[in-house]
C-alpha cells in the first residue's frame, strides 16, 4: 500500500483529498490528523478540497430502502399472540431485537456505493469530478474548475480495460455536467480499470491505441452513501 510522503506538497495535497473523501486507512488518517493539528498548509488544502467536493453533497440523491425491505421487517417483527406467554416474552423480544439489528445492517449493506474520480491539473487541483452509483446506471461528469485548454483542444476520458483496446467515455464538459448511460455489464470492469485523461482535438483520438498526451490518470475512489 502506498504511504503518503507528507513532506511532499503534491502527496500532502492528495492525502488531504483522500482525508476529505474518507478513504484514508486508520494509520494514514492518524498521520494526517497529526500534521493537520499544526500545519496551516494542510488545513488550507483540506478546506479547498471540501469546497471542491461540495458538489457531491448537492448532486447525490439519497437512497431509500424499498417497500419490500419494510414489508420484510414488518413481517419478521410482528408478534404472534398464539403462544405469547409471560415466560416467553423476554426470549421473543431478544430474538426480534437480533433480527431487527440484522435487517438494519443488511439494509445498510445493500446501499450502493458511490464511485468517484477527481480529474486534476498539474498542480493537483481538481477540474472535474466523475461519479457513478450503479443503481442509477449512469456516469456523471461534472465541471468544478476546468483547466484552461487551447482552442480546439478537449479532455477525453478513457477506461484502460485489461487486455483490450482502451474505451473512450467521451469528452469532459467545459462547463456544467454530462451524463452517460452505463450498461450494468460494464460495472465490474469499470471499477477494475485505470482511468486516463488525454488531450485531444475536436474529433477525439483515432483509437484507443492512438491517444494524445496524458494529462491525468488514476483509479476510482469509493464513498459510501
User: Which parts of the chain are beta strand (E)?
Assistant: 113-120, 126-133, 138-143, 154-160, 167-171, 177-181, 194-200, 214-218, 221-224
Q: Which of 40, 59, 78 is the C-terminal boundary of a domain?
A: 59
Q: Which of 34, 59, 84 is the C-terminal boundary of a domain?
A: 59
Please tell me the pTM assigned to this model.
0.53
Question: What pLDDT is attached to residue 103?
Answer: 43
Q: Structural domain tally of the chain?
A: 3
Q: Are residues 161 and 96 in the same domain?
A: no
Q: Are residues 214 and 174 in the same domain?
A: yes
Q: Are residues 79 and 118 in the same domain?
A: no
Instruction: State which residues of the chain have pLDDT below 50.
Output: 1, 81-84, 87, 89-112, 224-225
Q: Are residues 198 and 126 in the same domain?
A: yes
Question: What pLDDT is attached to residue 24?
Answer: 83
Mapped onto helix, strand or coil, the DSSP state of residue 180 is strand
Neighbours of 61 (CB within 10 A): 9
Whichever domain contains 170, its CATH number is 2.60.40
Whichever domain contains 1, its CATH number is 1.10.10
Neighbours of 95 (CB within 10 A): 13
Q: Are residues 28 and 120 in the same domain?
A: no
> Contact, 188 vs 220, CB < 8 A?
no
Q: Are residues 138 and 159 in the same domain?
A: yes
- Strand 167-171: give its sheet, edge to edge: 167-171, 154-160, 194-200, 214-218
Q: Are residues 207 and 119 in the same domain?
A: yes
Question: What pLDDT is attached to residue 69?
Answer: 56
Buried residues in 156-188 as b, exposed as e (16+ CB within 10 A): bbbbbbeeeebebbeebbeeeebeeebeeebee
Domain that holds residue 12: 1-59
Q: Are residues 210 and 196 in the same domain?
A: yes
Q: Are residues 25 and 90 in the same domain?
A: no
The model's pLDDT over 1-22, given as tens digits with 9 standing for 90+, comes to: 467 888 888 888 888 888 888 8
Residues in contact with 76: Cβ distance below 8 Å, sequence separation at least 6, in sequence order: 96, 99, 103
Q: Are residues 137 and 205 in the same domain?
A: yes
Q: Are residues 103 and 201 in the same domain?
A: no
Q: Are residues 143 and 184 in the same domain?
A: yes
Buried residues in 17-53 as b, exposed as e (16+ CB within 10 A): bbbbbeebeeebbebbeebbeebeebeebbebbeebb
Amino acid at each position: 500500500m502506498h504511504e503518503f510522503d507528507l513532506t511532499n506538497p503534491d502527496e500532502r495535497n492528495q492525502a488531504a483529498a483522500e482525508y476529505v473523501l474518507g478513504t484514508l486507512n486508520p494509520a494514514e488518517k492518524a498521520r494526517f490528523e497529526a500534521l493537520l493539528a499544526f500545519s496551516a498548509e494542510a488545513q488550507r488544502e483540506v478546506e479547498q478540497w471540501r469546497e471542491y467536493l461540495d458538489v457531491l453533497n448537492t448532486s447525490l440523491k439519497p437512497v431509500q430502502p424499498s417497500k419490500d425491505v419494510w414489508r420484510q421487517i414488518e413481517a419478521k417483527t410482528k408478534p404472534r399472540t398464539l403462544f405469547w406467554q409471560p415466560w416467553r416474552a423476554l426470549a421473543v423480544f431478544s430474538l426480534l431485537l437480533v433480527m431487527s439489528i440484522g435487517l438494519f445492517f443488511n439494509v445498510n449493506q445493500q446501499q450502493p456505493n458511490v464511485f468517484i474520480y477527481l480529474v486534476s491539473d498539474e498542480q493537483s487541483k481538481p477540474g472535474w469530478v466523475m461519479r457513478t452509483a450503479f443503481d442509477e446506471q449512469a456516469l456523471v461528469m461534472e465541471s468544478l474548475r476546468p483547466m484552461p485548454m487551447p482552442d480546439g483542444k478537449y479532455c477525453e476520458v478513457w477506461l484502460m480495460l485489461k487486455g483490450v483496446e482502451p474505451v473512450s467515455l467521451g469528452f469532459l464538459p467545459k462547463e456544467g455536467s454530462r451524463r452517460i448511460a452505463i450498461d450494468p455489464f460494464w460495472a465490474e470492469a469499470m471499477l477494475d480499470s485505470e482511468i486516463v485523461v488525454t488531450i485531444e482535438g475536436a474529433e477525439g483520438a483515432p483509437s484507443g491505441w492512438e491517444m494524445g498526451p496524458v494529462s491525468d490518470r488514476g483509479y476510482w475512489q469509493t464513498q459510501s452513501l
